[in-house]
Amino acid sequence: MRISFSILSIVVFAGGMPLGICSGQSTDASSDPAKPSPADTASIASGEVLLDSAIAAFESQDSLSANVRLQVHLLGHHLFGPGKYLQKGAGENRQIRFEMAVRGRAGKFVYTQVNDGRRLWLLEEMIDEKELRFLDLQRLREAGLLAVADISSPELHAIGLGGLSGLMKNLQLMFRFGRAVRIEWNGMSVWAMRGVWRAEQLGQLISTPDQGDVNEYSKIVSQLPEWAPIEVGLLLDTETLFPYRFEFLRAVDSSSNKASLTPIAIMELLEVRFDAPIEEDNFDRPSNIRPTDITKEMLRQRKKQDVEHSRNTKATNLSGLPDEKLRSR
């Protein structure tokens, strides 16, 4: 079951990676009014600009709830299950609850993140064991770790720390989004966009390519580990900019032919409610079992990453890869 959980933690990226569009059931959007400003009514827009607007909108959203549906097809595992997302308050007072009840061949487990504004609680409930860990958020703020999560640290849990806006910030940090196109999806008008790896972030996951491959994006991404997507997809509501669907795409074989990309994970948010009352006890400590403080571990890990990053920037890495090679084709 630990293998399954490691895959899930990668997918929700909280540790880090995005998800991919595949055929699924209809998603019902709430008719409740939303605070975020309407998006441009044009049929084509900049994905980067729309993502900036979506992040700003949900940074300031005071109350938000949605049901979640997750599917993962990765490394021979098929995981699926429902969950929920709750967000209340803004800034350092924002509280978040994200939970998933996932099933696979090994059985069922429940993964819960609760951010009460002071601590981020991480609860894993497996068939025959429970584990509760926590992060001291004040110590992480003082260390500068809550601004933007790092792709190489799955323990950062972007959803629990920063909510939906934190997840979208991570995607924007890692991927360059091309133009967004207005389409009809499940009876709704949405912005559909794709993102490809930014050179700097790609260099943190793979070794420096051979000199002859520097300008060959498809050859470079073919070196990515199996759990890493080649591209990500995102569907945003055209009026509220709410992210209905996150997608992580991977080639079906060892080549990186774009025509063969298929989803390795999909996360959908359904039945969205803005400004609905949320009971305070949703953000209580999720279990009374003895917890483990993993704050020191994270701080130590980040220090090690900073040293490695400093060393890598001095070496020849992917600096020769032009940004235009990373744009969606």
The residues facing 44 across adjacent strands are: 181
Is 322 part of any domain? Answer: no
Residue 311 counted as domain residue: no
| Domain containing residue 10: CATH number | 2.50.20.10
Residue 316 maps to a domain: no
Residue pair 248/17 in contact by the 8 Å Cβ criterion: yes
Task: Please tell me the distance from the alpha carbon of residue 228 to that of residue 231, in angstroms, as a whole number.
Answer: 9
Question: Which residues, other chains included, contact 181 with Cβ-Cβ below 8 Å and sequence gap of 6+?
Answer: 43, 44, 191, 192, 193
- Domain-located, residue 274: yes
Q: Which domain holds residue 220?
A: 2-305
| 324 in a structural domain | no
Cβ neighbours for 124, distance < 8 A, ≥ 6 positions apart: 5, 109, 110, 111, 130, 131
Q: What is the pTM of this model?
A: 0.76
Looking at the structure of the chain, the number of domains it has is 1
pLDDT per residue over 73-119, tens digit each?
Answer: 877 778 899 999 999 998 888 999 999 998 887 788 898 999 999 99
Q: How many CB atoms lie within 10 A of CB 313?
A: 11
Beta-strand pair 292-293/130-136: parallel
d(CA 171, CA 191): 16
Distance CA 193, CA 188 (A): 15
Whether residue 81 is contained in a domain is answered as: yes
Within a domain: 275 = yes
Sequence-distant (≥ 6) Cβ neighbours of residue 201 within 8 angstroms: 151, 173, 174, 175
Burial tier of 322 (Cβ tally within 10 Å: 0-12, 13-18, 19+): exposed
Task: Name the helix (H) or strand (E) containing 162.
Answer: helix 158-174
Per-residue model confidence as pLDDT tens for the chain (329 residues): 333 334 444 444 333 333 222 222 333 333 333 333 444 456 889 999 999 999 999 988 889 999 999 998 877 778 899 999 999 998 888 999 999 998 887 788 898 999 999 999 999 998 888 999 999 999 988 887 765 444 344 444 668 888 888 889 888 988 999 999 999 999 999 999 999 998 877 777 776 444 444 456 777 777 787 777 889 999 999 999 999 999 998 876 655 445 578 888 899 999 999 999 999 999 999 999 999 999 998 888 777 766 666 666 555 455 444 444 444 44
For residues 204 and 228, the answer to whether their CB atoms sit within 8 Å is: no
At CA 205, angle to CA 198 and CA 69, rounded to 5? 80
- Paired residues of 72 in beta bridges: 79, 265
In this prediction, residue 150 carries a pLDDT of 46
Look at residue 329 and tell me if it is in a domain.
no
